[in-house]
């Protein structure tokens, strides 16, 4: 991924703002440094020009012809060797240099009368020099006065300024980046709320997005909420309709069962009952169409175990169940109750009194593993194969048997899970179901 174009809006804004701030502050640092350097050089040049004029004034006609400097009018700083202040005066073939130069020399151009030139040169003891040369005419003689000044301390001052200025600029940059980060974060706050709502929606805690969101994406949220609502309403309505249909059909079937005398008729009625039960239950499954909802297995199993103990009171089955702490199933409560109810009911039906149920996370990640075992007669290997096929009926003689497991299969399939049968350690049937889990189980797993 391009680091300058990250996928998050906040990242993009931060990167662009940070880059522009760095460029801006870098430019101002360069401009300020150059401006100060130029200003200092201009000031120095101006002073050298004044010094050149005072040197010119100190030039007198020498008795033997030519020009000669009046030593009394020359500043003592030109006398100290390598003092950093130097001059050379050229008039005619005559050349006079300051004592400070000792026997070194500075090369400079002769600009001609009334003109001047500024240049940089390397002086004695490798001092960096600013050299100012100006041409004059005095006593009808052409005179060139060149002055040099050591730039070492000046350069040091300039560097110190640049350093301080740079430091201040960096501090300002950091402060601005910090402020900018906060601004971006505050600006994107509404989006963050929407994201959290989405997570709650996915986790099944919420059924709609509550936060209004910023104006830019408000229509999107409104549309999404409308869709969620329509979907929920439609699914509720179709569930209700199917429930009513099942209710009406079953009441009539119950009546027909009362009056049916011929075995053929009774058989046909039993078939109709099975079809109504299976198909309408399947149609009522919410499956994955519903926005994620979560079911607390502990609560449901407590109630379910009580219910099953009553329904199978003659057998008084000992239902030994345990759920890994905090485990939740992602899915519709009614579907999951139907799944667990049919599963455990089947086990109770066949058991001799003991049913074991376990729910845990799968080893591979966020899935959920449900196992039910009973101590009943179990199934022959051939029957186990039949069980694994669709639309099976394990035992034609026990009313309703097989149907429960068929419904279990329907539910597991509608949730994209896996169903397997085997032999239980207790001797009876072992049913193993793997369901794709609630994402929050996975995060729990990672954090521990």
Partner 1 sequence: MRVLLVEDDAALGASLRLSLERSGYATDLCADGIEAEGLGEVEPYDLVLLDLGLPGKPGLEVLHAWRARANRIPVIILTARDGWQEKVEGLRAGADDYVAKPFRIEELLARMESVLKRSRGLAAGPLRHAGVSLDEATQSLLGADGSRSALTGTEYRLLRYFMLNPGRLLSKAQLADHIYENDGDKDSNVIEVYVNRLRQKIGPDMIQTRRGQGYVFGEPPPRG
Which parts of this chain interact with partner 1 (CB under 8 A)? 243, 246-251, 253-259, 266, 269, 273, 277, 303-304, 306-307, 310-311, 313-314, 333-334, 337-338, 340-342, 399
Tell me whether residue 217 or residue 270 sits nearer to partner 1 (CB atom). 270
Whether 5 and 12 have beta carbons less than 8 Å apart is answered as yes
Tell me whether residue 149 or residue 338 sits nearer to partner 1 (CB atom). 338
Tell me whether residue 220 or residue 248 sits nearer to partner 1 (CB atom). 248
Tell me whether residue 341 or residue 378 sits nearer to partner 1 (CB atom). 341
Tell me whether residue 194 or residue 304 sits nearer to partner 1 (CB atom). 304
What is the smallest separation between the CB atom of 412 and partner 1, expressed in angstroms? 15
Listed residue (108, 95, 98, 102) closest to 124, CA to CA? 102
Tell me whether residue 115 or residue 247 sits nearer to partner 1 (CB atom). 247
What is the smallest separation between the CB atom of 409 and partner 1, expressed in angstroms? 16
* Token couple for 358: 């376990």
- Rounded CA-CA distance 392/41 in Å is 100
- Rounded CA-CA distance 49/26 in Å is 35
Tell me whether residue 49 or residue 253 sits nearer to partner 1 (CB atom). 253
- Give the single-character DSSP code of 401: T
**DSSP per-residue letters across 208-228:** S--S---TTTHHHHHHHHHHH
What is the smallest separation between the CB atom of 303 and partner 1, expressed in angstroms? 5
Sequence-distant (≥ 6) Cβ neighbours of residue 28 within 8 angstroms: 169
Long-range contacts of 409-412 (CB under 8 A, 24+ apart): 410/278, 410/281, 410/282, 410/285, 411/285, 411/335, 411/336, 411/338, 411/339, 412/339
Listed residue (292, 254, 296) closest to 439, CA to CA? 292
What is the smallest separation between the CB atom of 250 and partner 1, expressed in angstroms? 4
Tell me whether residue 168 or residue 265 sits nearer to partner 1 (CB atom). 265
What is the smallest separation between the CB atom of 346 and partner 1, expressed in angstroms? 12
What is the smallest separation between the CB atom of 354 and partner 1, expressed in angstroms? 18
CA quadruple 340, 344, 349, 355: dihedral, nearest 10: 180
Q: How many CA atoms, within 13 angstroms, populate the side-chain half-sphere of residue 124? A: 17
What is the smallest separation between the CB atom of 329 and partner 1, expressed in angstroms? 14
* Token couple for 1: 């991924």
Tell me whether residue 333 or residue 444 sits nearer to partner 1 (CB atom). 333
- Rounded CA-CA distance 325/314 in Å is 32
φ and ψ at 368, to 5 degrees?
Answer: -130, 135
What is the smallest separation between the CB atom of 294 and partner 1, expressed in angstroms? 16
Burial (CB count within 10 angstroms: exposed 0-12, middle 13-18, buried 19+), residue 357? buried
Pairing of strands 368-374, 429-435: antiparallel
Tell me whether residue 149 or residue 374 sits nearer to partner 1 (CB atom). 374
Tell me whether residue 314 or residue 446 sits nearer to partner 1 (CB atom). 314
What is the smallest separation between the CB atom of 307 and partner 1, expressed in angstroms? 5
* Token couple for 186: 């505050």
What is the smallest separation between the CB atom of 351 and partner 1, expressed in angstroms? 16
CA angle 68–72–74, rounded 5-degree value: 75
What is the smallest separation between the CB atom of 192 and partner 1, expressed in angstroms? 37
What is the smallest separation between the CB atom of 352 and partner 1, expressed in angstroms? 15
- Rounded CA-CA distance 220/224 in Å is 6
Tell me whether residue 273 or residue 375 sits nearer to partner 1 (CB atom). 273
CA angle 91–94–98, rounded 5-degree value: 90
């Amino acid at each position: 991924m391009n680091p300058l174009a990250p996928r998050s809006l906040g990242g993009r804004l931060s990167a662009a703002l940070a880059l522009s701030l760095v460029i801006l502050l870098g430019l101002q640092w360069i401009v300020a440094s150059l401006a100060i350097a130029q200003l200092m050089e201009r000031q120095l040049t101006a002073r050298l020009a004044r010094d050149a004029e005072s040197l010119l004034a100190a030039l007198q006609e020498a008795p033997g012809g030519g020009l000669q400097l009046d030593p009394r009018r020359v500043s003592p700083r030109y006398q100290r060797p390598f003092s950093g202040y130097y001059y050379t005066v050229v008039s005619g073939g005559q050349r006079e240099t300051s004592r400070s130069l000792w026997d070194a020399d500075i090369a400079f151009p002769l600009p001609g009368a009334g003109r001047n030139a500024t240049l940089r040169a390397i002086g004695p003891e490798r001092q960096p020099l600013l050299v100012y040369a100006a041409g004059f005419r005095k006593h009808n003689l052409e005179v060139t006065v060149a002055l040099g000044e050591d730039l070492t301390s000046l350069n040091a001052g300039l560097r110190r300024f640049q350093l301080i200025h740079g430091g201040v600029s960096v501090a300002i940059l950091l402060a601005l980046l910090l402020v900018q980060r906060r601004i971006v974060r505050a600006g994107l706050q509404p989006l963050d709320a929407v994201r959290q709502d989405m997570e709650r929606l996915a986790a099944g805690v919420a059924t709609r997005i509550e936060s209004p969101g910023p104006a830019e994406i408000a229509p999107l949220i409104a549309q999404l909420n409308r869709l969620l609502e329509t979907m929920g309403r439609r699914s509720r309505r179709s569930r209700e309709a199917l429930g009513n249909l099942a209710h009406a059909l079953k009441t009539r079937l119950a009546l027909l069962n009362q009056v049916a005398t011929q075995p053929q008729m009774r058989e046909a009625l039993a078939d109709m009952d099975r079809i109504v039960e299976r198909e309408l239950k399947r149609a009522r499954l919410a499956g994955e169409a519903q926005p994620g909802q979560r079911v607390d297995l502990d609560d449901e199993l407590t109630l379910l175990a009580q219910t099953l103990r009553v329904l199978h009171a003659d057998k008084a089955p000992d239902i030994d169940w345990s759920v890994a702490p905090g485990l939740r199933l992602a899915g519709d409560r009614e579907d999951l109750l139907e799944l667990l109810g049919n599963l455990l009911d089947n086990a109770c039906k066949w058991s001799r009194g003991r049913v074991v149920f376990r729910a845990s996370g799968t080893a591979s990640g966020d899935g959920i593993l449900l196992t039910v075992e009973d101590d009943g007669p179990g199934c022959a290997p051939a029957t186990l194969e039949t069980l694994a096929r669709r639309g099976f009926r394990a035992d034609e003689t026990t009313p309703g048997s097989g149907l429960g497991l068929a419904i279990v299969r329907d539910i597991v399939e509608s949730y994209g899970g896996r169903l397997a049968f085997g032999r239980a350690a207790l001797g009876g049937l072992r049913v193993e179901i793997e369901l794709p889990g609630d994402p929050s189980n996975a995060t729990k797993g990672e954090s521990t």
